[in-house]
A and B are shown apart, each in its own frame.
Chain A
Amino acid sequence: MSVGDYIRDSQIWKSVFRHPAPYDRRNRVVVMLTNFFLHLHPVSIKQQGIALSYTWCMGGITFFLFLVETITGVLLMFYYRPTLEWAFNDILALRDVTTLGIMREIHRWGAHAMVITVWLHMYRVFLTGSYKPPREFNWVVGVILLKLTLLLSFTGYLLPWDQLAIWAITVGSNMARATPVLGHEGPGFQFLNLGGYDLITNASDARFLLLGSRFVGEETLNRFYILHCVAIPLAAAGLIAIHFWRVRKDGGISQPL
């Protein structure tokens, strides 16, 4: 009896995995049904549907990058303080002195990669016509997830609090003040006034809502930090669950009709 067999025969192993190792056909079926992580998948699947040249694996890689970003992000949160006093210095220390400061590199490059893979996933889904009935709604969920990916990256861009960060966010958020009706430099903001007083000013418009301030400052850093670390990831996680569930319910990976 080999060591591997001994371990797999132990009570501990069996209590965790519940079934013998997937060496035969029966257990390969069972493992997909009884393992929490694997049960996202069906037990069996069409051969052409999982061909790498068909799916490009881009959806899967995007999800994996989401997990990488979550794990490295949580690790970075232990270290980083989102205040004007500390934000930049903490990033500087991550670069220069912190053990495993490479987490920041992985987090940033993973974020760039995720933006690219999510575009390519959309590109593939479009090119195979996989948004067509019955998968219309899942495409809509996917478009929202794409938007959330960009917002995650955008809110994270501010956190290092260097010149690159605040000016990119300034340029990006300046758009919001031109929001029709709701921005103080947008067409139609004059319509919202009471007795001659404008309701939409630079301290009450859409840009102010986004920044928590009239310019990119400490309130913005706090706001973007919460959006980046809590609000958007939660929304994305929920939508990812729906996205995956719908892939299964809508008939799995698309196939010729």
Chain B
Amino acid sequence: MNSLPLITSWLSLGSLEPHPNVTPSVIFGLGWLYLILFCMNVAWTWRSFHKGHHIDLPAFARGGHIPTAAIWATYSTVLMLVSLIHFSCASSPDSFWFIMPDFAKTAVDAVVADARYYFAVTTVGFVLMLLFRNWLAQPNIGWALLNLSLLFLTISLTDWDFRQIVGKPDNVPIVAMLFIVGFFTWVFFYRANENDRRSAQGRPPVEAENNEKVLTWPDLVYTEMICMIAVTALLILWGIALQAPLEEPASAVKTPNPSKAPWYFLGLQEMLVYYDPWLAGVVFPSVILGGMMAIPYIDFNKLGNGYYTFNDRKFAITTFMFGFMPLWIGMIVLGTFLRGPNWNVFGIYEFWDVHKLEALNNVNLSEYFWYGLGQPLPMAPAGSEFWTQAPYILLREAPGFLAIGFYLVALPGLMAGTIFKKFFVRMGFVRYMVFSNLVLMMAALPLKMVFRWAVNLKYFIAIPEWFFNV
């Protein structure tokens, strides 16, 4: 056998590991990333220096002050050193130590590789964001959060599996989207908090002050021009840096595992885990669209039109943001980065093992009910007609029909008398019913998730004979 090619490849790669966590080019690239981070933070240090803010030390440190700029300068210096370490150690990847430690990988994966924890963490994070919105919306805190998430991304890139999933060309825009959505949410809270403070003092919102008319040329057309140039430049650079994906030619007999819808529909595909296609793929998307169109006609609150505010529209903004962030964006992230072969959930540092097994013993509500009573499921004699079967099927699924009926018909009435009393009075019957059903439909997804995780519930109503499973 000719062993020469093997030896030379061993020499050039430095390792026989087929999935190396770090290679010279990875380390070198990360060095550049840290250098960019360093430059960003130098600019921020400069800004802090000119703002001249201080941080007060607690009493036991004798109550001194530290200039914010000093903290950022120290941090920038560390980034510079880290960048230098990368550039100087790039040639010896096997002994490179500045990587994501294994215990941290295990800890992160333990959380994200389980849909339950993932959903719990995103939801709790969302609630914390709302509660601590005043604290979070400070520029220095925002900058620190941006740096933390960028550092997490950068150091995670030292993992082979992480690079595979995040570096896929079609997934790059999703990573960017997370930062962009985070940034604009921060901008929203920054402006909303300012207006809420003003409102408490009886002053008008920022948008109502210094609001003279200006000429569209040049004040608006120049902004548009700059935006157009920036977007064009971005697209060209992006096009040069990343090649559009092109896989093997289409083959109807070779099903990839996993088969994924385009990324913006992965939230809907994720719903398929909990609901059947007729709901997750047809009814719920239609309800989402119809519900969004209905928003202007059910929101009777006259406040908060034309300016950023949170306090004037607490319910509307919380509901919408919950739908947009943990449910829509959160499920896209789950579908894109965490769903692997056989639609199992994998950690971000976990190898996509086709043979990973997850036991799924899901039980229908009817089975819980009838077996709980110690009875068999009501079943028509084998081979009987449709009209003979129907009463048996309806009896079998009666608990589910009652539950759904209670949820969509009785619950709105109960809420109208209690938590949504004000809404009911202001909205009138029709509008209130549309509103409450939309809210309940939106809550149906997280509710089914919780039931699935808590008691392995498969369907509330299970009539596979008629393709009618809820």
Q: Which residues of A contact B (CB under 8 A)?
A: 22, 25, 28-29, 31-32, 38, 41-50, 52-54, 56-57, 60-61, 64-65, 68, 88, 91-92, 95, 102, 104-106, 108-110, 112-113, 115-116, 119-120, 122-124, 126-133, 135-136, 139-140, 143-144, 147, 150, 153-154, 157, 160-168, 170-172, 174-180, 183, 185-190, 215-217, 254-257
Residues 263-289 of chain B, each 1 if its beta carbon lies under 8 Å from chain A, else 0: 011001100000011101111000001
Contact B221 A41 (CB under 8 A): yes
Nearest-neighbour CB distance to chain B for A74, whole angstroms, equals: 16
Contact B210 A47 (CB under 8 A): yes
Contact B278 A187 (CB under 8 A): yes
Nearest-neighbour CB distance to chain B for A65, whole angstroms, equals: 7
Q: Chain B residues with Cβ under 8 A from A49's Cβ? A: 207, 211
Indicate which residue in A127, A129, A216 contacts B252 across the interface (CB closer than 8 Å).
A216
Contact A178 B276 (CB under 8 A): yes
Contact B324 A44 (CB under 8 A): no
CA distance A174 to B303 in the complex (A): 43
Indicate which residue in B207, B212, B244, B289 contacts A108 across the interface (CB closer than 8 Å).
B244
Q: Is B220 an interface residue (CB 8 A)?
A: yes
CA distance A52 to B173 in the complex (A): 22
Contact B293 A139 (CB under 8 A): yes
Instruction: Please name the 9 residue pairs, one residue from A and one from B, whose CB atoms are nearest each other, closest first.
Output: A175-B281, A105-B239, A136-B296, A178-B277, A187-B468, A254-B306, A178-B278, A112-B173, A129-B304
Contact A109 B242 (CB under 8 A): yes
Please, which residue of chain A has its CB at the minimum distance from the CB of B303? A129
Please, which residue of chain A has its CB at the minimum distance from the CB of B269? A171
Contact B247 A139 (CB under 8 A): no
Contact A48 B248 (CB under 8 A): no
Scan residues 200-248 of chain B and give those whose CB is less than 8 A from a CB of chain A.
204-221, 223-224, 227-228, 231-232, 234-236, 238-240, 242-248
Indicate which residue in A123, A130, A160, A178 contacts B246 across the interface (CB closer than 8 Å).
A160
Name the segment of B74-82, B181-189, B419-427 touching the other chain. B181-189
Q: Is B467 an interface residue (CB 8 A)?
A: yes
Q: Is B12 an interface residue (CB 8 A)?
A: no
Indicate which residue in A115, A127, A177, A255 contacts B207 across the interface (CB closer than 8 Å).
A255
Q: Chain B residues with Cβ under 8 A from A38's Cβ? A: 216-217, 221
Contact B218 A28 (CB under 8 A): yes
Q: Chain B residues with Cβ under 8 A from A168's Cβ? A: 259-262
Q: Chain A residues with Cβ under 8 A from B228's Cβ? A: 64
| Given A64-B227, A139-B295, A216-B252, A162-B246 contact (CB < 8 Å) | yes
CA distance A163 to B293 in the complex (A): 35
Q: Is B251 an interface residue (CB 8 A)?
A: yes
Question: With A44-B215, A123-B181, A168-B260 given, can you name 19 additional A-B contacts, CB distance below 8 Å?
Answer: A44-B213, A45-B220, A47-B212, A47-B213, A48-B210, A50-B223, A53-B191, A56-B184, A105-B239, A120-B181, A128-B308, A129-B309, A132-B302, A161-B250, A167-B259, A175-B280, A175-B281, A179-B278, A215-B252
Contact A105 B238 (CB under 8 A): yes
Q: Chain A residues with Cβ under 8 A from B187's Cβ? A: 53, 56
Q: Chain B residues with Cβ under 8 A from A160's Cβ? A: 246
Q: Is B361 an interface residue (CB 8 A)?
A: no
Contact B246 A95 (CB under 8 A): yes
Residues 295-313 of chain B, each 1 if its beta carbon lies under 8 Å from chain A, else 0: 1110101111111110001
Contact A42 B216 (CB under 8 A): yes
Nearest-neighbour CB distance to chain B for A253, whole angstroms, equals: 8
Contact A48 B305 (CB under 8 A): no
Contact B207 A256 (CB under 8 A): yes
Nearest-neighbour CB distance to chain A for B255, whole angstroms, equals: 7
Q: Chain B residues with Cβ under 8 A from A50's Cβ? A: 214, 219-220, 223
CA distance A41 to B221 in the complex (A): 9
Most B CB contacts (10 A, CB to CB) among A122, A178, A217 go to: A178
Contact B282 A163 (CB under 8 A): no
Nearest-neighbour CB distance to chain A for B433, whole angstroms, equals: 19
Contact A104 B244 (CB under 8 A): yes
Q: Chain B residues with Cβ under 8 A from A164's Cβ? A: 170, 245-247
Q: Is B110 an interface residue (CB 8 A)?
A: no
CA distance A43 to B304 in the complex (A): 27
Contact B305 A256 (CB under 8 A): yes
Q: Is B455 an interface residue (CB 8 A)?
A: no
Contact A91 B246 (CB under 8 A): yes
Nearest-neighbour CB distance to chain A for B299, whole angstroms, equals: 7
Contact B305 A257 (CB under 8 A): yes
Please, which residue of chain B has its CB at the minimum distance from the CB of A172? B261
Please, which residue of chain A has its CB at the minimum distance from the CB of B207? A48
Contact B184 A190 (CB under 8 A): no
Nearest-neighbour CB distance to chain A for B173, whole angstroms, equals: 4
Q: Is B256 an interface residue (CB 8 A)?
A: yes
CA distance A104 to B235 in the complex (A): 11
Q: Chain A residues with Cβ under 8 A from B316's Cβ? A: 129
Scan residues 69-125 of chain B and give those whose CB is less than 8 A from a CB of chain A.
none
CA distance A53 to B238 in the complex (A): 25
Nearest-neighbour CB distance to chain A for B467, whole angstroms, equals: 5
Indicate which residue in B208, B231, B301, B306 contacts A130 across the interface (CB closer than 8 Å).
B306
Q: Is B466 an interface residue (CB 8 A)?
A: yes
Contact B210 A25 (CB under 8 A): no
Most B CB contacts (10 A, CB to CB) among A50, A65, A189 go to: A50
Nearest-neighbour CB distance to chain A for B33, whole angstroms, equals: 20
| Given A64-B231, A91-B246, A132-B302, A174-B277 contact (CB < 8 Å) | yes
24 contacts between A and B (CB under 8 A): A44-B213, A45-B215, A47-B210, A47-B213, A60-B227, A95-B243, A95-B246, A102-B239, A105-B239, A105-B240, A109-B242, A109-B244, A116-B180, A123-B184, A126-B295, A129-B309, A132-B304, A167-B255, A172-B262, A178-B277, A179-B278, A180-B278, A186-B282, A187-B278
Contact B244 A95 (CB under 8 A): yes
Contact A105 B466 (CB under 8 A): no
CA distance A49 to B210 in the complex (A): 11
Indicate which residue in A41, A109, A176, A257 contacts B220 across the interface (CB closer than 8 Å).
A41
Indicate which residue in B205, B276, B280, B296 contacts A133 across the interface (CB closer than 8 Å).
B296
Contact B214 A45 (CB under 8 A): yes
Scan residues 305-327 of chain B and give those whose CB is less than 8 A from a CB of chain A.
305-309, 313, 316-317, 320, 324
CA distance A91 to B212 in the complex (A): 52
CA distance A171 to B265 in the complex (A): 10
Nearest-neighbour CB distance to chain A for B29, whole angstroms, equals: 20
| Given A43-B216, A48-B210, A109-B305 contact (CB < 8 Å) | no
Q: Chain B residues with Cβ under 8 A from A167's Cβ? A: 255-256, 259-260
